[in-house]
């Protein structure tokens, strides 16, 4: 009877070990697939952002070529606004 119990215990342990190994392999496979999917999505997003940035750069260059005076005036006005904001936010007012 003791041998039957030992055999059954060993069989149960072998089965549990095999099942755990299968579960670990399955989990690893799923994790790898998930990481591959995330990596692919990030690469796709990076390509789209790069294409959008290139398109915006091309449009900006074309606009500057077509309307150089207006472009310079816009740049000067933008610079003046940024300087004004920097001074306004950077310098505390005297309370006197």
Confirm whether 58 is domain-assigned.
yes
| Residue 64 resides in a domain | yes
User: Is the dihedral angle over the CA atoms 30, 31, 36, 38 positive or is it negative?
Assistant: positive
Identify the domain containing residue 79 by its residue range. 2-90
Determine the Cα–Cα distance for residues 14 and 20; give it in Å rounded to an integer: 10
More confident residue, 1 or 24: 24
Q: Which two tokens stand for residue 89?
A: 């936010």
- Give how many domains the chain has, as a whole number: 1
pLDDT band at 96 (very low <50, low <70, confident <90, very high): low
Q: Decide if 17 is inside a domain.
A: yes
46 φ, ψ (degrees, to nearest 5): -60, -45
Q: What is the pTM of this model?
A: 0.49
Task: Indicate whether 27 pLDDT > 80.
Answer: yes
With contact defined as beta carbons under 8 Å apart, do 40 and 47 qualify?
A: no
């Amino acid at each position: 009877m003791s041998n039957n119990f030992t055999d059954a215990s060993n069989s149960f342990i072998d089965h549990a070990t095999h099942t755990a190994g299968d579960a670990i392999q399955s989990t690893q496979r799923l994790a790898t697939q998930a990481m591959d999917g995330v990596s692919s999505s990030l690469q796709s997003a990076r390509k789209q952002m790069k294409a959008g940035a290139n398109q915006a750069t091309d449009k900006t260059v074309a606009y500057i070529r077509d309307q150089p005076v207006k472009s310079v005036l816009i740049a000067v006005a933008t610079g003046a606004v940024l300087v004004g904001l920097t001074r306004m936010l950077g310098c505390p007012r005297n309370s006197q």
